[in-house]
Structure 1
């Protein structure tokens, strides 16, 4: 893609968004045209502005990066999405690529790797973070077998599965927040999403639905 590349950055931490904007501004061809604190805000921005690419944090409240990516690719299939997260599980990566994202980067990636990913994506190629590519490349090429964890928890992200297991083992919201180094607000948002996806109304129903599937 030649010329200016218009980018929206999405992360629930304002300082992280500012850091991305500062980094991208160092390259003349990249212009940050909008910032969002969650997936719903990304979709609102895209209704009123033209963008070529979204740098998308996957763990956000209100609407996470997976759901936002799915909606973006349905409404604006030409927009590229690069997912950024701390997670390295194969289920996370497979799900994001299945939704139409073009790249998966861990937040430990260097500045140079981010720009390398941008170049690949804009050249119509997919990019997988170096930190996980060696470990997961084989897994990504192998479809999940029937009854595997990926299929059992098909509707849940890797982070949501982690939270389900912690809730089922008796952890409180505060304890989960401390364990995962996420805000209480984020944990509560994940909890609401879990209940919605599993179609349950409380913890007891949730545990009853997954008790035979949690390893």
Structure 2
């Protein structure tokens, strides 16, 4: 591997973070550039530090690993996120990959498997731990296509996402922050949504889309 790989470790247990830091720090090609005790702290670290990979626990306070991964996908799409968790249920795995993750390992993974996972995701591949590979078939690694846009006014995937956020009570500025786009971009999407759905206000939009995509 040519360049140094910059890694952030996120886990709500300090000893776990320290263990992974010691493991990775013993190799010249890897550098732990930040630690975080929850998803919100990961995002704070990323505002100040460049990273290539985030090793992410799923069950953390304040902001869990799945929500943090979704935010990273929107704000830092070049960063690869790998789960390091004790969770092995298929629902967690599917939600994590749907949020934009690149790899999934349990905390029982060996050092060699962790390093292999990092190399695989940096090469553009997805990685599923051998320990949980029998939980899912390979087809489940690709998030199911959401065809709600075809069922409702030809909305794009991003427009469907914005409809859901508006219906959940998010303001325009909050949506812009969550999706890492400008307020003008959100307003443009909103105008397009109104036009495609042939509605004039938010109440009509929610009413028309409620049974199909919300």
Question: How does the TM-score come out when normalised to structure 2?
Answer: 0.64
What is the CA-CA distance between 1:2 and the residue it aligns to?
Answer: 3.1
Consecutive unaligned residues of structure 1, counting only runs of 5 or more, are 145-215
Q: How does 1:48-63 map to 2 (within 5 A)?
A: 48-63=48-63
Query: Quick one: distance in 2 between partners of 1:101 and 1:142?
Result: 11
The structure-2 alpha-carbon separation of the partners of 1:19 and 1:143, relative to structure 1 and needing over 3 Å to count, comes to closer
What is the CA-CA distance between 1:27 and the residue it aligns to?
Answer: 1.6
Query: Quick one: distance in 2 between partners of 1:111 and 1:9?
Result: 15
Query: Quick one: distance in 2 between partners of 1:38 and 1:21?
Result: 16
1:72 alignment partner in structure 2: 72
What is the CA-CA distance between 1:53 and the residue it aligns to?
Answer: 0.8
Moved over 2 A (4+): 141-144
Cα deviations by residue, 1:102-149 (Å, 9 ceiling, x for unpaired)? 0000111111111111110111110001011123125726988xxxxx
2:41 alignment partner in structure 1: 41
1:202 alignment partner in structure 2: none
What is the CA-CA distance between 1:26 and the residue it aligns to?
Answer: 1.8
Question: How does the TM-score come out when normalised to structure 1?
Answer: 0.64
Contact 1:6/1:52 (<8 A) preserved: yes
The structure-2 alpha-carbon separation of the partners of 1:142 and 1:33, relative to structure 1 and needing over 3 Å to count, comes to closer
Query: Quick one: distance in 1 between partners of 2:39 and 2:142?
Result: 30
1:200 alignment partner in structure 2: none
Contact 2:38/2:61 (<8 A) preserved: yes
Consecutive unaligned residues of structure 2, counting only runs of 5 or more, are 145-214
Contact 2:97/2:142 (<8 A) preserved: no
Contact 1:52/1:78 (<8 A) preserved: yes
1:110 equivalent in alignment to 2:110: yes
Query: What is the total number of aligned residue pairs between the two structures?
Result: 144
Tell which structure's C-alpha radius of gyration is larger: 2
Contact 1:90/1:139 (<8 A) preserved: no
Cα deviations by residue, 1:18-52 (Å, 9 ceiling, x for unpaired)? 00000001221100001000000000010111111
